[in-house]
């Protein structure tokens, strides 16, 4: 009995026959998942490439916060300064200069020589004269303290007791230590306040009786 030959085409169709539905679903899911994984990898790779290609901003050096100036503050050189009354230290020859001016009654030199500051404060005891004046006006205000026919020699070396009595009186503030005080033989009194060769305040009394 002879065998019937098997058709190879029929055999191939048996192997590749229609697949069940669940097999097609599984194959489709595998393909979809594979495509998703490939897409995710491609996307993440591209993002990393862009991130690496973009230079990260270099942190700028932090601006130093403002600090107090480190420049040392130099202490001012101590100088002779006037006290509250305006009195400092007169030049050594100021006493002799004022003595000559008063004895000669040549008071104009106080303006011309720049001895008076501009303005200069002038106060006359027991009067309404108490104000800043120009040097020339201050010189004119001194006139009542002199008698043209009398040289009125002036004493500029008054005793400590006399000066202490003036300081204890109603005008004591115009007789600070260091002021140049002059008294005439008939009792007129000047007190010159200032420093170096400059008079910044001038006090006048027509009688020393006003000073006690």
pLDDT in tens, the chain (212 residues): 445 554 545 544 444 456 677 676 778 787 777 777 777 677 666 555 554 555 554 545 455 554 544 544 444 433 344 445 678 899 999 999 999 999 999 999 999 888 999 999 999 999 889 999 999 999 999 999 998 877 778 999 999 999 999 999 999 999 999 999 999 998 999 999 999 999 999 999 999 999 99
What's the pLDDT at 130? 94
HEC string for 90-126: ECCCHHHHHHHHHHHCCCCHHHHCCCEEEEEEEEECC
Global pTM reads 0.61
- Alpha-carbon distance of 6 to 4, in angstroms, equals 6
Domains annotated for the chain, with CATH where assigned, are 94-211 (3.10.450)
Residue 212: alpha-carbon gap to chain centroid: 46
What's the pLDDT at 212? 92
- Alpha-carbon distance of 67 to 50, in angstroms, equals 42
Strands of the chain, DSSP E: 116-124, 130-133, 154-155, 180-184, 189-195, 198-205
What's the pLDDT at 195? 93
Residue 145: alpha-carbon gap to chain centroid: 47
What's the pLDDT at 36? 75
Q: How many CB atoms lie within 10 A of CB 137?
A: 15
Residue 203, class by beta-carbon neighbours within 10 Å (0-12 exposed, 13-18 middle, 19+ buried)?
buried
Q: Which residues pair with 131 in a beta bridge?
A: 122
Q: Do 212 and 201 touch, CB atoms closer than 8 A? A: no
What's the pLDDT at 17? 54
């Amino acid at each position: 009995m002879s065998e019937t030959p098997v058709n190879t085409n029929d055999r191939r169709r048996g192997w590749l026959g229609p697949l069940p539905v669940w097999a097609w679903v599984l194959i489709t899911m595998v393909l979809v998942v594979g495509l998703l994984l490939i897409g995710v990898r491609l996307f993440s790779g591209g993002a990393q490439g862009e991130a690496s290609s973009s230079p990260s901003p270099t942190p700028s050096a932090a601006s130093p916060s403002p600090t107090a100036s480190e420049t040392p503050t130099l202490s001012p050189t101590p100088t002779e300064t006037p006290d509250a009354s305006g009195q400092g230290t007169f030049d050594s020859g100021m006493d002799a200069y004022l003595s000559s001016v008063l004895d000669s009654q040549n008071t104009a030199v106080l303006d011309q020589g720049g001895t008076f500051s501009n303005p200069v404060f002038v106060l006359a005891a027991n009067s309404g004269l108490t104000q800043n004046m120009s040097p020339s006006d201050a010189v004119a205000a001194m006139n009542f303290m002199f008698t043209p026919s009398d040289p009125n020699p002036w004493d500029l070396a008054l005793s400590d007791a006399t000066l202490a009595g003036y300081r204890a009186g109603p005008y004591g503030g115009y007789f600070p230590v260091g002021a140049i005080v002059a008294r005439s033989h008939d009792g007129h009194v000047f007190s010159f306040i200032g420093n170096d060769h400059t008079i910044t305040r001038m006090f006048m009394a027509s009688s020393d009786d006003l000073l006690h």
